[in-house]
């Protein structure tokens, strides 16, 4: 069964990037250590990254994140979705207007201009089609940024939340939760490694 999974790395004080995140500075000032776990040799980190990439039947991102990864110093053949895994599921971008050009033409892009719920619905449809084709349950994964995942949680669009807690306090940056309504989650799995604590929640 296809689920909508929000999956993101976060600092201990709740930021998904450092300050001044932008194309050319995707993780913000001082934010690079957030993703140390994705390049780790720890067997659990490697397993979690590979499993997350493999289960992605379609991926949703916001326009700011798209601009970061499609910039000249963004994703490449060596580093892309899933870091060195370089997965190639269909990608759905929530945006007010489609870009005039795309650098990463080898990837499957859909630009949705009618809002986040429509983008999530499109990704779920793509993931269900991929599941049927592959004969395995694949998910629609929300990879970010923080505002997109926060909005999706607030709108009740998320089934599962996966947080990779990086042992860093950034002090400022892009927050994941801003003015969210109270919500009780069900903790399903916790895996502690040398570089992060990976926590999976069912969203009620």
Using the predicted structure, report yes or no on whether residue 183 has a pLDDT greater than 90.
no
Residue 179: is its pLDDT beyond 90? no
Q: Is the pLDDT of residue 204 over 80?
A: no
Tell me the domain boundaries of the chain: 4-15+28-203
**Residues 59/152, Cβ–Cβ less than 8 Å:** no
- Please write the tens of the pLDDT for every residue from 100-132: 999 999 999 999 999 999 999 999 999 999 999
Work out the percent of the chain whose per-residue pLDDT is above 70. 100
Average pLDDT over residues 140-149: 95
Q: What is the pairing mode between strands 185-192 and 139-144?
A: unpaired
Q: State what percent of residues in the chain have pLDDT above 90.
A: 94
Name the pLDDT band for 73 (thresholds 50, 70, 90): very high
Question: Across residues 58-63, what is the average pLDDT?
Answer: 98
pLDDT at 200 over 90: yes
Average pLDDT on 14-22 reads 95
For 178, other C-beta atoms within 10 Å of its C-beta total 12
Q: What is the mean pLDDT of residues 154-173?
A: 97
DSSP bridge partners of 174: 17
Query: What kind of fold does domain 4-15+28-203 have according to CATH?
Result: Dihydrofolate Reductase, subunit A (3.40.430)
Confidence of residue 55 (pLDDT cuts 50, 70, 90): very high
Ramachandran region of residue 68, left (φ > 0), alpha (ψ -120 to 50) or beta?
A: alpha
pLDDT at 151 over 80: yes
State the average pLDDT for the chain.
95
Q: Which of 50, 51, 107 is nearest to 77 (CA)?
A: 107
Mean pLDDT of 45-72: 97
Per-residue confidence (pLDDT) for residue 180, from 0 to 100: 72
Looking at residues 160-164, what average pLDDT do you find? 98
- At 102 the pLDDT is 97
């Amino acid at each position: 069964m296809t689920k909508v999974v929000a999956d993101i790395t976060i600092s201990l004080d709740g930021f998904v990037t450092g300050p001044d995140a932008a194309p050319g500075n995707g993780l913000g000032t001082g934010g690079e250590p957030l993703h140390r776990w994705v390049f780790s040799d720890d067997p659990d980190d490697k397993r979690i990254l590979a499993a997350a990439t493999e289960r992605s039947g379609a991926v949703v991102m916001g326009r700011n994140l798209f601009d970061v990864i499609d910039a000249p110093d963004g994703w490449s053949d060596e580093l892309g979705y899933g870091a060195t895994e370089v997965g190639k599921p269909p990608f759905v971008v929530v945006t007010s207007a489609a870009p005039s050009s795309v650098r990463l033409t080898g990837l499957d892009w859909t630009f949705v201009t009618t809002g986040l719920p429509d983008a999530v619905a499109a990704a779920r449809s793509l993931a269900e089609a991929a599941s049927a084709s592959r004969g395995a349950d694949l998910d629609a994964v929300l990879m970010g940024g923080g505002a997109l995942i926060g909005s999706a949680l607030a709108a009740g669009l998320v089934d599962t939340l996966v947080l990779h807690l990086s042992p860093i306090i950034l002090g400022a940056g892009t927050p994941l939760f801003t003015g969210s309504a109270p919500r009780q989650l069900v903790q399903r799995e916790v895996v502690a490694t040398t570089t992060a604590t990976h926590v999976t929640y069912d969203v009620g």
